[in-house]
Chains A and B, each alone.
Chain A
């Protein structure tokens, strides 16, 4: 147990938000796919997985996104550009589709999931902040994905500072009922990134852990 946690800690200590990517250093498709697979397996409220992974390969589109990211060059320099998205609008059929998926995978009648349907549906019905709730799910993916990247020694730069409307427009997301949530350029750090060697700034455990 301890060894795995120590390895995980080493990975977290190694990572940092990469400001300068080496444009020539490409991530293999195999690695990138495995990282997306890690993201796919993230924990999700009620197991709903209300997320999509938009992978932007087209260099012209990435150039357009640069302006919507206030000129942060990671979006064009990094090997891969991932945009985590959530449904723009929650629709009740999403829960129904998921129940059918569970029934199919677990080979049970969909009616046997009625209790779960009431439970999850009840929470969703009374929530007044479904958009925020769906966005929060993307942050669970982010936490898991950034760790997976660090474990694989892949650099990443999670970004919240971008125009969501701009991204939605450039990527045509509205037509897909999607809303951009987080932008994650992934690749390898450039040798000239001064932030790579800056000391990590984290509060001590005394300041952040309260034991009851």
Chain B
């Protein structure tokens, strides 16, 4: 039964692999091509459904369409001079800034528990053990909660880039930027948020020479260790 099911799913997996081979970190987007509302909505839905540790979903996605704001964000990116006039944040259709709460608070756990109770039609009492587990976990990992929240944003990034590739939407992730600078431009501190990573999306420009560069990936033999 499983063998049959799997042989049916393989084409879908091969499409995913084709998409991953197609993608590259786009350095120049076609400024005239904008992603429409319907596409953006579907991408938001994909972000919303990202797998998340313990179901907590401690992220916010700040979507920047405004060209002036994107220009300001680009100024806070430390980038390799690619030979293109503009930074990809400027030529992109949209920039998504992946954010997390600026500080972890136990209220975030309480909010999640209430939400679970609401969606699954359970009482808070029924969720007592689960809630207690979450609180214990937060207490024992208190020292690393901020970097842990950062890492959750990277799960979203990994899934998001693959989704974009599947739909042949170009993307360019950015890690190397001033977080304080982004806070300032987007007013993140007031919203109790901290930027983690960003991603420009849009349609590649025919002038982007990086589109034709060969992908450099280590073969599986170099990566797999069998035990």
Could you tell me which A residues sit within 8 Å of B by CB distance? 1-2, 4-9, 12-13, 15, 17, 25-28, 30-31, 33-38, 40-43, 45, 47, 49, 51-58, 61, 85, 98, 101-102, 105-106, 115-116, 119, 123, 129, 132, 135-137, 139-148, 151-154, 158, 160-161, 171, 176, 178, 188, 198-205, 208-212
* Contact pick for A38, options B16, B61, B79, B214, CB 8 Å: B16
B213 near A: Cβ within 8 Å? yes
B220 touches A40 (CB 8 A): yes
A31-B6, A41-B17, A140-B158 known; A47 vs B216 contact (CB < 8 Å): yes
Nearest 5 CB-CB pairings of A with B: A143-B158, A139-B154, A41-B20, A143-B159, A140-B158
Q: B167 touching A210 by the CB < 8 A rule?
A: no
A212 to B66: give the CA distance in the assembly, Å: 7
Contact A205 B48, CB 8 Å, known A147-B162, A212-B186? yes
CA distance A95 to B116 in the complex (A): 45
Does A105 lie within 8 Å of B216, measured CB to CB?
Answer: yes
The docked-state distance in angstroms from the alpha carbon of A132 to that of B144 is 10
- B interface size (C-beta, 8 A): 86
- How far is B192's CA from A210's CA once the two chains are assembled, in angstroms? 13
State the Cβ distance, A96 to closest chain B Cβ, in Å. 14
Q: Inside 8 A of A115's CB, which chain B residues have their CB?
A: 80-81
With A and B bound together, what is the CA distance between A201 and B23 in angstroms? 31
B9 to A152, Cβ gap below 8 A? yes
B residues near A188, Cβ cutoff 8 Å: 2
Q: State the CA gap A93–B138 with chains docked (Å).
A: 37
Cross-chain contact A153 with B42 (CB below 8 angstroms): no
Complex interface bits, B26-62 against A, C-beta within 8 A gives 1, otherwise 0: 0000000000001100111111111101010101111
Contact partners of A6 in chain B: CB under 8 A: 42
Q: Are B64 and A212 in contact (CB under 8 A)?
A: yes
Is B184's CB within 8 Å of the partner chain A? no
| Chain B 79-104 interface mask (CB, 8 Å, partner A; 1/0) | 11100000000000000000000000
A139 & B158 in contact (Cβ 8 Å cutoff): yes
Closest to B111 in A: A203
Chain A hits for B45, CB < 8 A: 9, 205
Among B46, B64, B65, B218, which residue has its beta carbon within 8 angstroms of that of A8? B46
State whether A8 touches B163 (Cβ < 8 A).
Answer: yes
Instruction: Evaluate contact between B78 and A123: CB separation under 8 angstroms.
Output: yes
When the two chains form their complex, are residues B78 and A54 in contact, meaning their CB atoms are under 8 A apart? no
Q: Assess A5 versus B163: contact at CB under 8 Å? Given A53-B224, A153-B9, A171-B227.
A: yes
Check if A49 sits within 8 Å of B10, measured CB to CB: no
Within 8 Å by CB of B218, from A101, A152, A199, lies A101
Q: List 7 interface pairs A-B (beta carbons < 8 Å), by A numbering.
A: A9-B45, A9-B46, A9-B49, A25-B2, A143-B50, A151-B9, A153-B5
Q: Contacts A12-B46, A201-B120 given; indicate if A148 touches B16 (C-beta within 8 A).
A: yes
| A201 and B217 in contact, given A55-B227, A148-B162 (Cβ under 8 angstroms) | no
Expressed in whole angstroms, the minimum distance between the Cβ of B226 and any Cβ of chain A is: 5
Contact A202–B116 (Cβ < 8 Å): no
B202 lies within 8 A of chain A by Cβ? no
Task: State whether the Cβ of B128 lies closer than 8 Å to any Cβ in chain A.
Answer: no
Flag if B10 contacts A30 (CB, 8 Å): yes
Question: Are B13 and A38 neighbours in the complex by a CB distance under 8 Å?
Answer: yes
B residues within 8 A CB of A148?
13, 16, 162
Q: Does B191 contact A (CB under 8 A)?
A: yes
Contact yes or no, A101 B216, CB < 8 A: yes
Assuming the A-B contacts A9-B42, A9-B49, A31-B13, are A143 and B162 also in contact, with contact meaning beta carbons closer than 8 angstroms in the complex?
yes
